[in-house]
């Protein structure tokens, strides 16, 4: 058990790996975990971006590798001494009608959004089991539960990641490893910049979300810190929706 006098959100002494932590939601989560005291390993494929990001976050270390490259993951994990928190944040998307895709398109998105999370989580869980404690947080999406036309592969991948969250929670629970997910709604990350600039989408969100606006990436960090902390010690297999009320009303 942890020190009951410590602040329940304190992550001092914990090491976290955040995939896709160089920008957007992953960067904001990395910043949040570091602010709570964690040492953060920031992953992504572009080393220059990661170095820039790490400069802005106290105690952060760039960890460049492609999460779909299992051999690279293996080699990387040989050099990690301890891991307390894994945030599977990478998610790729291709908005197109179903007939525009071939099967390799489907497989490639599943590789990044689901298979890599499976691969990383079981390696991380191996280290967490030795410690008798661990936290895995998967960044899914409200698209895991609700669908729009022209987004089939992403939607399927996020639903799969939600299922994987529950399955890993069941399997890793006896080792005191919790596995949860965060399901963001519309987030004004760099990738969404063209949509954020679109007044029609702003109008849509004004009507469609209870809070009437986009989320800033920083607004996802609190959920990640909470689920990674001792404050969430009895929460596992849960999907925490952070969508400004998008799915709560119509």
Ligand X SMILES: NC(=O)c1ccc[n+]([C@@H]2O[C@H](COP(=O)([O-])OP(=O)(O)OC[C@H]3O[C@@H](n4cnc5c(N)ncnc54)[C@H](OP(=O)(O)O)[C@@H]3O)[C@@H](O)[C@H]2O)c1
**Would you give the DSSP letter of residue 39?**
E
Asked if 242 and 182 count as a contact pair (C-beta separation under 8 A), the reply is yes
Q: What is the DSSP letter of 216?
A: P
Say whether 154 is catalytic.
Answer: yes
In the complex, minimum distance from the CB of residue 21 to ligand X, in angstroms, rounded to a whole number: 7
Site string for ligand X, 52-71 (x = CB under 6 A): --------------xxx---
Beta bridge partners of 24: none
Q: How far is the CB of 82 from ligand X (least distance, A)?
A: 21
137 binds ligand X (CB under 6 A): no
Query: Which position has the token pair 């270390």?
Result: 61
**Candidate residues 11, 112, 117, 169; the one interacting with ligand X per rule CB under 6 A:** 112
Interface with ligand X, residue 246, by CB under 6 A: no
Asked whether position 162 contacts ligand X by CB under 6 A, the answer is: no
User: Which entry of 25, 42, 154, 157 is annotated as an active-site residue?
Assistant: 154
| CA-based max dimension of the chain | 57
Quick check: helix, strand or coil at residue 69? coil
Helix (H) or strand (E) holding 153: helix 152-172
The residues of the shown chain that bind ligand X, judged by CB under 6 A, are 19-20, 22-26, 43-46, 49, 66-68, 89-92, 112, 139, 141, 184, 186-187, 189-192
């Amino acid at each position: 058990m942890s020190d009951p006098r410590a602040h329940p959100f304190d992550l001092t002494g914990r090491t976290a790996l955040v995939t896709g932590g160089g920008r957007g939601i992953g960067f904001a989560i990395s910043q949040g975990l570091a602010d709570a005291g964690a040492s953060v390993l920031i992953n992504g494929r572009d080393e220059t971006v990661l170095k820039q990001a790490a400069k802005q976050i106290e105690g952060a270390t760039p960890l460049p590798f492609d999460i779909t490259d299992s051999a690279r993951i293996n080699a990387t994990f040989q050099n990690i001494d301890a891991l307390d928190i894994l945030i599977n944040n990478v998610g790729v998307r291709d908005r197109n009608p179903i007939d525009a895709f071939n099967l390799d398109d489907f497989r490639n998105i599943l590789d990044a959004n689901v298979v890599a999370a499976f691969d990383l989580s079981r390696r991380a869980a191996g280290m967490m089991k030795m410690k008798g404690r661990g936290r895995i947080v998967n960044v899914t999406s409200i698209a895991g539960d609700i669908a729009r036309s022209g987004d089939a592969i992403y939607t399927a991948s996020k639903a799969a990641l939600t299922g994987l969250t529950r399955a890993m929670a069941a399997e890793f629970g006896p080792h005191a490893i919790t596995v949860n997910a965060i399901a963001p709604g519309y987030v004004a990350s760099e990738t969404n910049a063209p949509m954020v600039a679109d007044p029609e989408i702003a109008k849509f969100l004004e009507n469609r979300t209870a809070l009437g606006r986009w989320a800033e990436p920083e607004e996802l960090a609190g959920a990640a810190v909470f689920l990674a902390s001792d404050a969430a010690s009895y929460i596992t297999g849960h999907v925490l929706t952070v969508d400004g009320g998008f799915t709560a009303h119509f």
